Amino acid sequence: MKRLNSQLQQDGAQLELILLIRTLLAACKEISFRVSQGALAGVLGSTLSENVQGETQKKLDVISNQIIKDTLCESGYVKAMSSEEEEHVVPCDPDGKYLVSFDPLDGSSNTEINSLIGTIFSIFHAPQWMEPGDPSAFVQPGTQMVAAAYVLYGPSTMLAMTTGRGTHLYTLDKTHGGFLLTQANIQLPQQTAEYAINASNQRHWDTPMQRYVSELVAGKEGPRKKDYNMRWVAAMVGDIHRVLCRGGIFMYPADKRNPEQTGKLRLLYEANPMAFLIEQAGGKASTGERRIMEVVPTDIHQRVPVIMGSSEEVDYCLSCYEETKA
């Protein structure tokens, strides 16, 4: 099987980017080990503090964030980073060539039930004329990403990655500690009969999403003329991994509870990297109004609605939004 380095070289990745990715993955392998130890290592449960998002931090959130921060800051490749767990930009090496945004442990509430969790990250070029602590360095649309990935900590530890030359899946071989290519250039089927959404929020969705999901639920007797299955892992990494492996549509729409908050998922370190992976696999990713990767962030923790997956299904969902505007 092909090693990660070989695939990155084949895809034309620059040497410093390859070294940065390897550094990030070294941190993820350490997180994978901590996750696998679970209660034996005393890493389960919550802390007594909240992060900048107003969410109660899990012990593994804090541990994972610190592992990635320390690893990246010592690497020399990173000028600055932004994390779900950090209120402000974290400056690193003034000579670093890259910016990294990451969710250190997506789905961390699943740690208590030994379910799927993961790490998500995106990588951009760092503007060399800006100071490392300048948050405006991160004001770049997703189209400027040079790499995006997630590491899924499941029965096996898997990596989904793109550098703009297709989306590839790798599996961590724990016998020698490297990620091996297990599926190259994956392609989503354009059609699907599977969707992922937190249906408990249905009463809060806007009208187009209410209509779209009601049509899916109606099945063969409804306007879509076929039955759909719903799946929900409660961790974006798990739901997107399923979509990448067998097609589907994943949605986390805006809702009416907080008009000032346009969505739930964060643009820089959740929506953008997943959109890049989905698009490179032949799918589509939208906020309901525009392509996710074209959104220019206004804040490192900016939130956006998310609709992504198999292209024809995303198109149909978006048509519900267009008809509402008409």
Q: Is 51 labelled as part of a ligand binding site?
A: no
Q: Is 270 labelled as part of a ligand binding site?
A: yes
Q: What is the pLDDT of residue 42?
A: 73
For residue 261, pLDDT beyond 90: no
Q: How far apart are CA 187 and CA 245, in angstroms?
A: 8
Q: How far apart are CA 319 and CA 280, in angstroms?
A: 22
Contact 66, 73 (CB under 8 A): no
Residue of 53 and 279 predicted with greater confidence: 279
- pTM, two decimals, is 0.95
Q: Is 103 labelled as part of a ligand binding site?
A: yes
Please tell me the least confidently modeled range out of 31-35, 40-44, 147-151.
40-44
Residue 167: closest CA among 154, 150, 144, 190: 150
Alpha carbon of 317 to those of 184, 213, 285, 287, 312: distances in Å?
28, 9, 11, 11, 9
Q: Is 315 labelled as part of a ligand binding site?
A: no
Q: Is 84 labelled as part of a ligand binding site?
A: yes
Mean pLDDT of the 204-228 span: 96
Helices (H), 91-206: none
Mean pLDDT of the 4-27 span: 97
Q: Is 105 labelled as part of a ligand binding site?
A: yes
Query: What is the DSSP code (8-state) at residue 13?
Result: -
The pLDDT > 90 percentage for the chain reads 84
Those residues with Cβ within 8 angstroms of residue 220's Cβ, 6 or more apart along the chain or in another chain: 226, 227
Q: Is 265 labelled as part of a ligand binding site?
A: no
Alpha carbon of 294 to those of 275, 285, 291, 304, 322: distances in Å?
10, 10, 6, 12, 18
pLDDT in tens, 51-79: 556 555 678 899 999 999 999 999 999 99
Contact 101, 227 (CB under 8 A): no
pLDDT in tens, 225-257: 999 999 999 999 999 999 999 999 999 999 888
Q: Are strands 194-196 and 46-50 parallel, antiparallel or unpaired?
A: unpaired
pLDDT in tens, 79-94: 999 999 999 999 999 9
Q: How far apart are CA 200 and CA 55, in angstroms?
A: 19
CATH superfamily, with its number, for domain 4-183: Fructose-1,6-Bisphosphatase, subunit A, domain 1 (3.30.540.10)
pLDDT in tens, 100-149: 999 999 998 888 888 999 999 999 999 999 999 999 999 999 999 999 99
Q: Is 79 labelled as part of a ligand binding site?
A: no
- Tokens for 151? 């590491």
Domain ranges of the chain: 4-183, 194-325
CA-based radius of gyration for the chain: 19
- Phi/psi of residue 198, each to 5°? -85, 95
> Quick one: how far is CA 85 from the chain centroid?
15
Helices (runs of H) and strands (runs of E) counted in the chain: 7, 17
Contact 105, 61 (CB under 8 A): yes
pLDDT in tens, 303-325: 999 999 999 999 999 999 998 77
Pick one of 3.90.110.10, 3.40.50.300, 3.40.190.80, 3.30.30.60 as the CATH number of 194-325.
Answer: 3.40.190.80
